[in-house]
Structure 1
Amino acid sequence: MENELLEDLVVIFTLAVAMVVALRRVGVPSIAGFIIAGVIVGPNVLGIVDDVHEVEVLAEVGVALLLFGIGLELSLERMRRLWRLILAGGALQVFSTIAVVGAILRASGFYFSTAVFFGCVIAISSTAVVLSALRTRGDIDAPHGRLTLGILIFQDLCVVPMILMVPLVAGAAPPGALAIAVLKSAAVLVAVLIGARFLAPRLLAFVAHTRQRDVFVLSMFLICIGTAWLVSAAGVSLALGAFLAGLVVADSEYRHQALSDLIPFREMFASLFFVSVGMLLDPRSIAGQALPIFGLLAVIVSGKAMLATFASLALKLPLRVSMLAGLALAQVGEFSFVLLSAGRGAMTLPQPFTDNLAVAIVVSMLITPLIITVSPSVTAGMGRSPVLTRRLGVRTPADRPRDASPMQGHVIIAGYGLNGRELARSLEDCGIPYIIVDINPENVRGALERAEPAYFGDVTSSEVLESLGAAHARELVLVINDVDATIRAIRAAKRLAPELPIFARVFYAAEIERVIRAGATEVVAAELEAAVEVTHRILERCKVRSDTIAAQMDGIREHREEEFNGER
């Protein structure tokens, strides 16, 4: 038995590595490679791995580690700032999807209970697939990444009530059972959060004092898998339990060590989850029912994308951010199979539709990484609607009075986050004229409250740049959190004003080359500047002479410049 499992794992990892390497050469994300590998080795194609259950057990560990790692990258404090997106955005997306799907199926002749049930199935997206794809692109902390995360958390919270609702809808459970179960689940989550909040730091402090790395790694596994198991045993989503455990550890001083120790295990086990998803797909089913399956897939993906976009717009979020989140949430998730299983046991479901839906769900998860990869290009230039900006209560560059004097010699600041605010303050103190543009209406309203010359707009638009006087500006400063948008803004500015100096900030040193090639005059990487600042302060504390420190700082930048030139 053990040898069979090892043989299966060898085959899975061999084919997965080959598929990922081959597909990456043509720009296909690695998640899609894992799913395709699962299709090939699974029982429906080559049949090399016939015991899918063994792989699924390891895959559950992968899901737990994946969500635990994502929780580590966030924190409870940051999650508290997402409460509006979680509650309002999540509720709007889930309930609007249930209502629309239910209404369509009811009009198509389905029973009311069956229509509502399928609405619940389709409303859930794949937390593991979406967050993995966003993490690969570095988009989890982008505005659309935070919005997507908030909605996914609400969906995970809804899984248990939905499962408990199945016998109620089917008439097989007493009234009030759902409310009791929901209260029980909420109590379990609160108890886990409180317990982990007090127990996890003490356990980690005790383990850290032993100075044994292997014990620390095992403790991380214990917190992750243990919390996930406890929450799952109480009927709540295993993934949500692991995510909460990660959030708790993220607020401790052991966050970075935990993340670095778990990354290799997380990637290995998480790949098994995506392989197990591929094993569920039967290509013969697609061949026999291609038209209804792909028709259903198209309706689900486009419908969910639109509903999630409208839900986000209802929160007065920018159109492009809303569309990016909508496209990321367009698939149906793995927990929908749990719902389908519960539904089959409690009510009579139409067999052909249910089978086609199951295949469409797997295919929707397969194409999700591709959708997320191309979505920035698809949504480029969105968010310029005058009707939308009026509804958001902000002004655009086009709203400047026609008799206003033309802007010249000014600095255009794109992005009014911390960097943008501090730059604006310094320019004001130095008497240098500037103008601010941001695609986040809340940032624009905050700037207007400070009497700043701020406008709502997409800096990747040539029309917006022209309205901001880019042709006569002294400098364009791009301090936005999306490197793809930064590159599009540079290209738009160069088309309008080829001689305009452009300063860009990126987060990672690896992104500098792309931005320079796009036409930026100067690029600063937050990662590199942090390394310079850390080195500077440590050398100062070590009483190193100032001229030696300056030479070391120059050396760090020169070393990075040599690496950059070598890579080119």
Structure 2
Amino acid sequence: MPHNVDLIVLLAVGFGLALFFGYLAARLRLPPLVGYLIAGIVISPNTPGIVGEITLANQLAELGVMFLMFGVGMHFSLKDLLEVKRIAVPGAILQISVASMLGVAITMLWGWSFGSALVFGICLSCASTVVLLKALGDRGLLTSVNGKIAVGWLLVEDLVMVLVLVLLPAVAVLLGGKPIVGHEPNQAIWLTIVMTLLKVSGFIAFMLIIGKRVIPLIIQFVARLGSRELFTLTVVAAAVSVAYGAYAVFGVSMALGAFFAGMVVKESDFSHRAEEETLPLREIFSILFFVSVGMLFDPQILLSKPIEIIEVIAVIVIGKTIAAMALVLCFRYPLNTALTVGASLAQIGEFSFILAAVGVSLGLLTIEAQNLILAGALFAITLNSFMFKAIEPVQQWIRQRSYLARYFERSSDPLAMLPDEVDQDYLRDQVVIIGHGEVGRRVMQTLMQKNIKVVVAEENREIVEELRDKGIAAVCGIATEPGVLIQAHIQHARLLVISPMDIIDIHRIVDISKQLNSRIQVLVCAENKEEAEAIRADHIGDVFYAKEQMAINMSQHILDQIDKAHHKTA
């Protein structure tokens, strides 16, 4: 009895080729995402050999988009965004505007209509969250100030793209595209936009008022049953059901529904478990998404439009990088931060593909435009790892040229110096705290409650500004630079407290501090046992790490309880 096996063929061949090309990409130190896109190109109808069923691929891509957006929602952290809001929010919006205008400029020169040029430009403006998180994670930068700024910047970009995806169908006719289904061509555009915004607002209100309470309760109830598969099924059902419900009931995109489903699941007490349990499934569907995107790509574009592709790559890799760097430097952040953010944004990814597909469906983009976006993404993602490798050499090259260093490093930054109102008597026998994270903040609060003088050295400008607003002595800068420690008056301090950071940076800070103040005591908070033992072996100061201190505190508590019990029975 004959039966249809197109789906099985697509999955078998797609996963097999994705594994092969993903492995090759990883061996070449490229993001595996490049390999997945190439796998899709190999089984594309546009290339000879095995051909995957494009209709099935598109449906699997829809699922991939939903799980990608669900993952973005689960990674969205309002707390992290608020920490860098003063640079991430205006910076991302301005950078999107600049990149979009660059895209509009080159496409208008090609003779495109303004509507097509605008959608194309927006596609080039948004970087890939997947590529960024991988690049920062591989380099240990995710928890650094530079990493948090880059991630916060991208979170704002993601939110803007979600808004664009919601509004684009409503304004498609105004931009020269097709009317959305159920929309009368002669109906006022403003009415369509208002109705769309009302539907979106209704969905968001529903999720924040009802979904935020109901879904975490359901997850908590199922978690108590102790069934791992039921827990995973609950989270997956929440993602898919909310996504489809958003589309069926409120008429908004399934991508937006999945994004809010992820945000709501994150509110649950079991969010970490939910993320771990669904990660394999989310990654599988993400791979299918990138394979299906590759299937849409026609390699002939490389031969027919080479100049246009070079211009697209220039906008993504050069235009976006320069724009981001200039914005970061204008906010008076150091050169290293500007270079890191610039490299982070010099690529495009999943949102570009999603937006391009929507643009094609609305008649705002042609298949050729979609191919140009895919080609630009492939080359930009491939070049991105080299952009990160270039950060240190470029920084050294600039610093070797004093006139450039003076211009880029902003030595006149008022936050790099303690304010005049800090009394000189205060800057003797003080405690200098490096970093104002969880550890540094708690130490500072405890010391200040005991009226012990404190000076904080912190990289994040926003934190320094908040501390100064509270009347706390704080200086902005990277503590491995002698000038920052000198501004903190390390030469007169009695104690140096170093929050968790890279072990090489810890050694450099301690070396500089002891050169300036040979009598200073040093306390170091290590990330883990291995790091603690390595620092102790170098005898640079007293070392603490979380699990060890927790065991000591628990042991002491147990002994105290036993002593109390003995006294009662005595």
Q: Which residue does the alignment assign to 2:60?
A: 58
Can you list the C-alpha shifts for 1:180-215, whole angstroms capped at 9, x where unaligned?
323322322332333312321343344345443322
Conserved in 2, the CA contact under 8 Å of 1:437 and 1:455? Answer: yes
Question: How far is the alpha carbon of 1:145 from its aligned partner?
Answer: 1.9
Q: Which residue does the alignment assign to 1:449?
A: 469
Q: Which residue does the alignment assign to 1:214?
A: 229
Q: Which residue does the alignment assign to 2:158?
A: 152
Can you list the C-alpha shifts for 1:481-509, whole angstroms capped at 9, x where unaligned?
xx56x645645765896899876546566
> Residue 395 of structure 1: SS of its match in structure 2?
helix
Aligned equivalent of 2:372, options 353, 356, 359: 356
> Residue 6 of structure 1: SS of its match in structure 2?
helix
Distance 1:432 1:87 in 2: 36
Distance 1:78 1:59 in 2: 30
Distance 1:375 1:515 in 2: 28
Unpaired stretches in structure 2, ≥5 consecutive residues: 179-184, 565-570
Can you list the C-alpha shifts for 1:139-177, whole angstroms capped at 9, x where unaligned?
278343233213322222222213432321217654313
Distance 1:274 1:512 in 2: 42
Q: Which residue does the alignment assign to 1:266?
A: 282
- Structure 1 pair 101/455, CA: closer, same or farther in 2 (3 Å)? same
Conserved in 2, the CA contact under 8 Å of 1:470 and 1:496? Answer: yes
Q: Which residue does the alignment assign to 1:306?
A: 322
Conserved in 1, the CA contact under 8 Å of 2:40 and 2:290? Answer: yes
1:367-378 correspondence runs (5 A): 367-368=383-384, 371=387
Tell me which amino acid in the other structure corresponds to 2:99: T
Distance 2:439 2:267 in 1: 24
The answer to whether 1:124 aligns with 2:126 is yes
The answer to whether 1:178 aligns with 2:193 is yes
Question: How far is the alpha carbon of 1:439 from its aligned partner?
Answer: 1.9
Can you list the C-alpha shifts for 1:427-468, whole angstroms capped at 9, x where unaligned?
567897764222222221233334433211122435545665
Q: Which residue does the alignment assign to 2:568?
A: none
Can you list the C-alpha shifts for 1:309-331, whole angstroms capped at 9, x where unaligned?
55566777666546534433333
> Residue 257 of structure 1: SS of its match in structure 2?
helix
Q: Which residue does the alignment assign to 1:566?
A: none
- Structure 1 pair 434/79, CA: closer, same or farther in 2 (3 Å)? closer
Q: Which residue does the alignment assign to 2:312?
A: 296
Tell me which amino acid in the other structure corresponds to 2:434: A
> Residue 168 of structure 1: SS of its match in structure 2?
coil
Question: How far is the alpha carbon of 1:40 from its aligned partner?
Answer: 4.6
Relative to the length of structure 1, the TM-score reads 0.74
1:476-487 correspondence runs (5 A): 477-479=497-499, 487=504
Conserved in 1, the CA contact under 8 Å of 2:123 and 2:355? Answer: yes
1:36-435 correspondence runs (5 A): 36-40=38-42, 42-43=44-45, 47-73=49-75, 88-103=90-105, 105-106=107-108, 110-131=112-133, 139=142, 142-170=148-176, 173=185, 174-176=188-190, 177-233=192-248, 234=250, 236-286=252-302, 289-309=305-325, 320-321=336-337, 323-341=339-357, 343-344=359-360, 355-368=371-384, 371=387, 394-397=414-417, 412-425=432-445, 435=455
Tell me which amino acid in the other structure corresponds to 1:98: S
Percent sequence identity is: 27
Distance 2:535 2:26 in 1: 22
Structure (1 or 2) with the larger CA radius of gyration: 2
Conserved in 2, the CA contact under 8 Å of 1:308 and 1:322? Answer: yes
Distance 1:163 1:375 in 2: 40
Distance 1:405 1:181 in 2: 62
Distance 1:175 1:507 in 2: 56
1:481-496 correspondence runs (5 A): 487-488=504-505, 490-491=507-508, 494=511
Q: Which residue does the alignment assign to 2:459?
A: 439
Distance 2:294 2:387 in 1: 18
Tell me which amino acid in the other structure corresponds to 2:166: V
- Structure 1 pair 113/451, CA: closer, same or farther in 2 (3 Å)? closer
Distance 1:506 1:277 in 2: 43
Relative to the length of structure 2, the TM-score reads 0.74
Conserved in 2, the CA contact under 8 Å of 1:67 and 1:128? Answer: no
Distance 1:245 1:306 in 2: 35
> Residue 229 of structure 1: SS of its match in structure 2?
helix
Can you list the C-alpha shifts for 1:46-98, whole angstroms capped at 9, x where unaligned?
74452244344334434433443453455677778788778655543433433
Tell me which amino acid in the other structure corresponds to 1:422: R
Can you list the C-alpha shifts for 1:25-51, whole angstroms capped at 9, x where unaligned?
554344344444444555555744522
Distance 2:433 2:339 in 1: 24
Q: Which moved more, 1:190-199 or 1:315-324?
A: 315-324
Tell me which amino acid in the other structure corresponds to 2:60: L
Distance 1:22 1:103 in 2: 37
Tell me which amino acid in the other structure corresponds to 1:452: I
Aligned length: 539
Q: Which moved more, 1:21-30 or 1:427-436?
A: 427-436
